[in-house]
């Protein structure tokens, strides 16, 4: 039974995918219909701690939203398109806007652990593309304004209203699962990156292929290797991500409240 069938009369137009350590953000969903990923064909069973593997549909800021607690990462299987079945079903169910969140390492001391960074663009350094092997001219997806400018303005306005210091920057996708070396961090700084992570970019590419509008948010959980004070680890990712989740719980409802105006 597909997601569209499971939703019944519920008709969310926006979906949010929660990254590592942000699972508790699902508590912002009012009157949720909760669907385990295991009940949805093609949905991955997350194998990384901090990813619950559940989809909740309900009201956020007065609007109906689908919130996905957890994702599969390309490094788990070597498949850059591992989230394609999920995005296909979201599209089939009527989703028009996708908000992607992740845990990331900062490349700038001005964007320290606990910060939230609005993604303005990304650099695909993973050497993979989720559209490889597909056929048809529609796969030559333009990536100009991949992260929708109008959505970015809404997030900035919402952050201002909530007095949340929302940073902005370029996300660099490394395949992982090992953390980056100091030399790789230095290179990412040189090419214009603001944060590094192991997800999001392939989902953005696939979402744009499907015609979805995309916004991206990185929760900064550590400084990149080689930067003074850096100590990247999965435990730090979870710990610092949970701290930033409190801000995310205020930011997201405000965005949806303001969308109604």
State both tokens at 247: 């801000």
Q: Of 139, 145, 175, 234, which is the active-site residue?
A: 234
Residue 76 annotated among the catalytic residues of the structure: yes
Catalytic residue among 20, 56, 194, 218: 20
Candidates 206, 222, 225, 244; catalytic one: 222
Active-site residue, selected from the candidate residues 66, 72, 93, 103 = 103
Set 56, 69, 73, 188: catalytic member:
73
Dist CA 128 CA 175 (whole Å): 8
In terms of phi and psi (left: phi > 0; alpha: psi -120 to 50; beta: otherwise), the region of 3 is alpha
* 247 belongs to the catalytic site: no
- Known catalytic residue: 222? yes
Out of 158, 198, 215, 244, the active site residue is: 198
From 124, 199, 213, 218, active-site residue: 199
> Is residue 13 packed enough to be buried (19+ CB in 10 Å), middle (13-18) or exposed (0-12)?
middle
In contact, 60 and 67? CB cutoff 8 Å: yes
Indicate which residue of 30, 76, 162, 184 is catalytic: 76
The distance in angstroms from the start CA to the end CA of the chain is: 36
The conformational region for residue 77 under phi > 0 = left, psi -120 to 50 = alpha, else beta, is: alpha
Name the active-site residue from 15, 21, 37, 51: 51
List, in sequence order, every beta strand (DSSP E) within 46-180. 54-60, 63-69, 97-106, 116-124, 166-173
Is 126 an active-site residue? no
**Active-site position among 75, 125, 147, 171:** 75
Has 218 been annotated as catalytic?
no
Residues taking part in catalysis: 20, 51, 73, 75-76, 103, 198-199, 222, 234
């Amino acid at each position: 039974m597909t997601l569209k069938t499971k939703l019944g009369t519920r008709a969310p137009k926006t979906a949010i995918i929660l990254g590592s350590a942000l699972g508790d953000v699902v508590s912002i969903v009012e009157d949720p219909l909760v669907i385990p990923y295991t009940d949805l064909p093609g949905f991955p069973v997350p194998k990384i701690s901090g990813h619950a593997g559940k989809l909740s549909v309900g009201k956020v800021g007065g609007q109906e939203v689908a919130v996905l607690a957890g994702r599969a990462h390309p490094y788990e299987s070597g498949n850059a398109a591992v989230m394609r079945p999920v995005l296909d079903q979201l599209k089939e169910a009527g989703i028009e806007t996708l908000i992607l969140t992740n845990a990331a390492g900062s490349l700038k001391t001005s964007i320290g652990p606990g910060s939230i960074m609005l993604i303005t663009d990304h650099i695909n350094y993973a050497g993979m593309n989720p559209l490889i092997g597909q056929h048809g001219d529609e796969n030559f997806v333009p990536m100009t304004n991949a992260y929708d400018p109008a959505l970015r303005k809404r997030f900035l306005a919402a952050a201002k209203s909530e007095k949340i210091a929302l940073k902005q920057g370029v996300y660099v996708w490394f395949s992982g699962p090992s953390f980056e070396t100091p030399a790789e961090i230095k290179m990412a700084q040189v090419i214009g990156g603001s944060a590094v992570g192991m997800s999001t970019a392939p989902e953005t590419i696939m979402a744009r292929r499907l015609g979805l509008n995309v916004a991206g948010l990185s929760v900064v959980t550590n400084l990149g290797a080689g930067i003074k004070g850096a100590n990247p680890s999965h435990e730090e990712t979870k710990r610092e991500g949970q701290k930033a989740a409190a801000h995310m719980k205020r930011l997201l409802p405000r965005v949806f409240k303001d969308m109604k105006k």
